[in-house]
Amino acid sequence: MQCFQEFGKPTEELSHVEFRDDGRYEIKCSHGHETTTVLQQQKFEVLFDIGAYAILDGYYREAVSSFTSSLERFYEFALRVFLEKDSKSDELFQNCWKKVASQSERQLGAFVFLWASNFNEAPELLSNSQVSFRNDVIHKGKIPTRTEAISYGDSVLNALRPKMLAIRDKFPEEVTKVTALQSFMLLAGLFGTEIRGDKFFENLGPAILVVFFLPVFVAWLIWYLAPRLAGRATMDLSDHIIIDKLTPEGLATAGLVVSMAWPSVQR
């Protein structure tokens, strides 16, 4: 954004970053501009990606570990969505999670019964042979082959993906809220704002509102002022942007046109 404001176009540089536990990535370009990006991907998605990369790199034991963690974090995400549906309180989830955070078997048990309560069926889990294989790798130091690691990854994906789609389709509002809450929490940490349970909107502070609403306001301002500032140099931009069909892509196009036309206006 700063490069766009200063030079009229975004930087074409690529930055390489390592995976972070909090999903927040801070980057500095060659011009000294700092950018913070917050991923909306759930941790179970990132962990599964790490497992896939581990297989590509030849680290099959690490792949099994990452796939296992991915499935466990999916159970956590699902429990969060279920409690959001029933209680509308993230604080309740946090209080309950503290009691089982270090006990994966209790987390699995909670998931099984809440899944049955919401979908009227018992969830499909890993087979006993896959559970035994996982325990041998994680707890007994077994070094798996590539074929075994891929097979285990497929089993985790087959157990995870249908459930993920079912939750998304049945509870879209709760999924959106849980995802938004996690993003807000990361941004609040960036600005030093404390979030308390389900009252995070009240405690978020004006700084976060600026982060989200300022780009929208700037985009509207560009649309409104573009034809007035650029005049004929923009080839009558107002003819190309129709308010009832305005899209994010249209806003981005408007910004680029104005940035290119501005030097002509100054002359």
SS3 of the chain: the string is CHHHHHHCCCCCCCCCCCCCCCCEEEEECCCCCEEEEECCCCHHHHHHHHHHHHHHHCCHHHHHHHHHHHHHHHHHHHHHHHHHHHHCCHHHHHHHHCCCCCCHHHHHHHHHHHHHHHHCCCCCCCCHHHHHHHHHHHHHCCCCCHHHHHHHHHHHHHHHHHHHHHHHHHCHHHHHHHHHHHHHHHHHHHHCCCCCHHHHHHHCCHHHHHHHHHHHHHHHHHHHHHHHHHHHHHCCHHHCCCHHHCCHHHHHHHHHHHHHHHHHHHC
pLDDT for 7: 67
pLDDT 10s digits, 114-146: 999 999 999 999 999 999 999 999 999 999 999
What distance in Å separates the CA atoms of residue 219 and residue 199, rounded to the nearest whole number?
A: 29
Q: Are 81 and 167 in contact (CB under 8 A)?
A: yes
Q: Among residues of the chain, what percentage have pLDDT more than 70? A: 63
pLDDT category at 228 given cuts 50, 70, 90 is low
The pair of structure tokens assigned to 138 is 């994680």
Tell whether the model's pLDDT for residue 256 goes beyond 60: no
Paired strand residues for 239: none
The pTM is what?
Answer: 0.65
Domain ranges of the chain: 1-39, 43-191, 206-267
Tell whether the model's pLDDT for residue 199 goes beyond 80: no
pLDDT for 224: 60
What distance in Å separates the CA atoms of residue 198 and residue 212, rounded to the nearest whole number?
A: 19
Q: What architecture does CATH give domain 43-191? A: Up-down Bundle (1.20)
Mean pLDDT value across residues 46-71: 95
**Residues 6 or more apart whose Cβ sits within 8 Å of residue 234:** 226, 227, 257, 258, 261
pLDDT 10s digits, 139-195: 999 999 999 999 999 999 999 999 999 999 999 999 988 888 776 666 555 555 444
Tell whether the model's pLDDT for residue 243 goes beyond 60: no
Torsions phi, psi of 199, nearest 5? -100, 25
> Within a 10 A sphere around the Cβ of 192, how many other Cβ atoms?
8
Kindly calculate the radius of gyration of the chain based on its CA atoms and give it in whole angstroms: 24
Positive or negative CA dihedral for 71, 72, 73, 77?
positive
